[in-house]
Amino acid sequence: MTDVRDDLDTAVVTPLSDLDAAAVELLRESLTEAVRDHRYVVVDLHAAPTIDSAGLSMLVRAYNEAKGNGGTLALAAPSRYVVTVLHTMKLHQVFPLYPDVDAALSA
């Protein structure tokens, strides 16, 4: 369901399906650990074409936790659908968005 790649300061969490309520249950633990254990977290959304309110809520909580710990949480490779949802909810102003993981890691 998820793929986590990490080093000392950075974790890349890759959900392998849509970010819906079912996926959130499987992804929450990986994302929580990544935010707790790393200063920089990138959520690679290349394999998550859609997102619902549960997925948005989980990302916002993780972002706030990362920020509270002095870190950052960025989104890489969001689909057009995900970008549209983020714009609709005004969350494009909150999350750093990158076209791919390499761009996020270089920032």
- The DSSP annotation for 70-107 comes to T-EEEEES--HHHHHHHHHTTGGGTS-EESSHHHHHH-
pLDDT at 4: 62
- Bridge partners, 15 (sequence order): 2
- Give the chain's mean pLDDT: 93
Q: Is 44 helix (H, G, I), strand (E, B) or coil?
A: strand
Where would I find the H helices in 12-72?
A: 21-37, 53-68
pLDDT at 7: 67
Domain ranges of the chain: 2-106
pLDDT at 3: 53
Between CA 62 and CA 56 the distance in angstroms is: 10
Between CA 36 and CA 27 the distance in angstroms is: 14
pLDDT at 25: 87
pLDDT at 26: 86
Low-confidence ranges of the chain (pLDDT < 50): 1
Query: Residues 14, 16, 22, CA angle at the centre, nearest 5°?
Result: 110
CATH number, span 2-106: 3.30.750.24
pLDDT at 6: 61
Between CA 2 and CA 18 the distance in angstroms is: 11
